[in-house]
Amino acid sequence: MSNQEKYAATHLEDEKHIQPEHLETSHTFDPENGHQPTKRGANTQLDDAARLLAEAGGHVEYTPAESKRVLRKIDLFVCLPMCLVYFIQQLDKSSVSYSAVFGLQKEAGLVGTQYSWLSSIVYIAQLVCQPLSSYALIVFPVKYWVMFNMISWSIVTIVTCVGKNFTGLLICRLFLGIFEATILPSFVLITQMWWLRREQSYRTIAYQIANSFAAIFGPLLSYAIGRATESSNVIKPYQGIFLFMGSFSLALVPVVWYLMPNSPTTAKFLRHGNDRLIAIDRLKENNTGTKASKFKWSQVWETYRDPKTYMWAGMWFCAACPSGGIGAFGGLITKGFGFNTFTTILMQIPTGAIGITALLTCIWITNRIKMRWPVIAVIVLFPIAGAVSLTQVNHKKVGGLMASYYVAYLFSAIQPLLISWCNLNAAGTTKRVVTTATMFGALTIGNVIGPQVYLTREAPYYHTGLYVDIGCWIVEFILVVSMGFHLRRLNRKQEARRVALGLPANLKDISLMPTAEAEAYKLELAQLMSQAGVNMDTLNENAFDDMTDFENPMFMYVL
């Protein structure tokens, strides 16, 4: 009896009520409830990738050297433009923070919480636009969607330089948020479309490091612009910052347009030989598919009955609230230590280096121990300590204050690590996109609230904001540890499903192994599968069926 026949036989009772008979069905496993309700259409809409592989005979032979060559191409034509876009987006978004150091509040007549709202409105716009963004990512070519938004927000940043009051600045920041809303969800989807799970963490960290580079170059550029315009009668320093950042962003559009592809199935740089088929075939190990082009409501409902969704949302909110607050008020906090305008700008440069060092260290440790949650849990402890110190250190001790601020700034590593972890634990195009949209919604709410708890009357100490941030990080720690244990439990349930299908116990996730280790394990696995009388192809036979992690028993959760 085949593997599929065994599975069907064990759930014959579930199939008796299916009407009409000609409808294709698949059995959906809910790891929480431990049963397989019947669901229509889970396997009727194959990924674009599956179609191309089927046309090529279902399989393509290639060597590890050919796989590495294709991977290098993917890194050049996909990862590089992602890094450029993320770098320039962060510059544009942070321009208001740099402008604040150069007297934006005074020049534009901002009072009370108006400056806070210039940061919060960006994330309110992103939150409102998430449903549109999620739908667009499924039905539109991802490259054209990203490019449309990049061009639009570049123009908006340029136009912001003419804003001379709260209303004008608020409108510009609103449109900036609308056009930037799609970038992170787009990049999460792109990462899942192109790389194996063991490769995804490094690529996610790559464009997040580009974010940290923006934290280094942004202050330097702002310093230069401020110096160049401080005595100008034509343009004020804050206007020069918006004008330059937006123009720089627009100038990079042709480079990104040339490099960025839509998907592995249409990328022009994969036209040589079997490169396209290699790029697609190597993704089988993920068991997450690439990208289907139809929106599936069944996967939406599954997303919102999955407890992981709400745990991820809580983690992203708790990471974003402090990030939004310190991101908007970091310059004002350090200026309150007694520095002048230009020194304050320069004192922000080490925050970028801290972010890069923390991310590289964390991802190295993560890939050594092959677990994410312990690393994230430990890194969360540092900003708690730094923020507590900021509330306690005497404000005459500038050295101690700056040291505390830099320790607290390790919070910048939390969000990228969460993104790379969350990416690995959902399958099915619609479920992945909706999960990411939900996470991003929680992130935007956190970013909206973050600046609001930094009260103007408490300047330059902002103790209320810091206490809220400390509370968020404590909750973050609890959620991260809880998620680690929850995913371990789900993996045990998934293993029980595979054993019921006649597969060997204790299968390992090849998609997370280094290449040499993966090749060695495949030889060992082939022997185990042969002894069990099961074909090796069974492991990845559903890889491109656009099945969710609940539906696919071969899916393994990443701790």
pLDDT per residue as tens digits for the range 68-78: 899 999 999 99
- Residue 108 is predicted with a pLDDT of 85
pLDDT digits (tens, 9 = 90+) for 150-189: 999 999 999 999 888 999 999 999 999 899 888 888 888 8
Other C-beta atoms closer than 10 Å to the C-beta of 233 total: 6
Task: Determine what percent of the chain is predicted with pLDDT higher than 90.
Answer: 27
- Residue 48 is predicted with a pLDDT of 63
Task: Yes or no: say if 475 and 322 are a contact pair by the CB < 8 Å rule.
Answer: no
Per-residue DSSP letters for 483-543? HHHHHHHHHHHHHHHHHHTTPPSS---GGGS-HHHHHHHHHHHHHHHHHHT--GGGGGTTT
Collect contacts of 524-530 with beta carbons under 8 A, ≥24 apart: 528/504, 529/503, 529/504
Question: What is the total residue count of the chain?
Answer: 559
Task: Yes or no: say if 522 and 64 are a contact pair by the CB < 8 Å rule.
Answer: no
Give the range among 59-63, 264-268, 319-323, 366-370 with minimum mean pLDDT. 59-63
pLDDT digits (tens, 9 = 90+) for 275-311: 888 888 887 766 555 555 677 888 889 999 999 999 9
Q: Which burial class, exposed, middle or buried, applies to 328 when counting CB atoms under 10 A from its CB (0-12, 13-18, 19+)? A: buried
- Residue 2 is predicted with a pLDDT of 42
- Residue 16 is predicted with a pLDDT of 34
Task: Label residue 109 left, alpha or beta by phi (over 0 means left) and psi (-120 to 50 means alpha).
Answer: left
pLDDT above 70 for 38: no
pLDDT above 60 for 18: no
pLDDT above 90 for 140: no
- Residue 476 is predicted with a pLDDT of 97
Half-sphere exposure for 452 (CA within 13 Å, toward CB):
12
The span from the CA of 378 to the CA of 355, in Å, is 15
pLDDT above 80 for 526: no
DSSP 39: E
Task: Yes or no: say if 220 and 352 are a contact pair by the CB < 8 Å rule.
Answer: no
- Residue 437 is predicted with a pLDDT of 83
Residue 475 confidence class, pLDDT cut points 50, 70, 90: very high
Range 335-353 average pLDDT: 82
Assess if CATH 1.10.760.10 describes domain 82-264+293-490.
no
Residue 57 confidence class, pLDDT cut points 50, 70, 90: low
Token representation of residue 549: 């992690």
Task: Yes or no: say if 287 and 414 are a contact pair by the CB < 8 Å rule.
Answer: no
Range 191-211 average pLDDT: 84
Cis omega (within 30 of 0) for bond into 322? no
Q: Which burial class, exposed, middle or buried, applies to 437 when counting CB atoms under 10 A from its CB (0-12, 13-18, 19+)? A: buried
Q: Which is more confident, 134 or 272?
A: 272
Task: Yes or no: say if 365 and 420 are a contact pair by the CB < 8 Å rule.
Answer: no
Per-residue DSSP letters for 413-468? GHHHHHHHHHHTT--SHHHHHHHHHHHHHHHHHHHHHHHHTS-GGGTTT-HHHHHH
pLDDT digits (tens, 9 = 90+) for 230-257: 777 778 888 898 899 999 999 999 999 9
- The alpha-helical segments, DSSP class H, found in 370-424 are 373-392, 398-408, 414-423
- Residue 389 is predicted with a pLDDT of 92
The span from the CA of 205 to the CA of 415, in Å, is 10
pLDDT above 90 for 81: yes
- Residue 279 is predicted with a pLDDT of 86
Phi and psi torsions of 25, nearest 5° = -135, 165
The span from the CA of 14 to the CA of 317, in Å, is 39
Half-sphere exposure for 444 (CA within 13 Å, toward CB):
24
Residue 451 confidence class, pLDDT cut points 50, 70, 90: confident
pLDDT above 70 for 93: yes
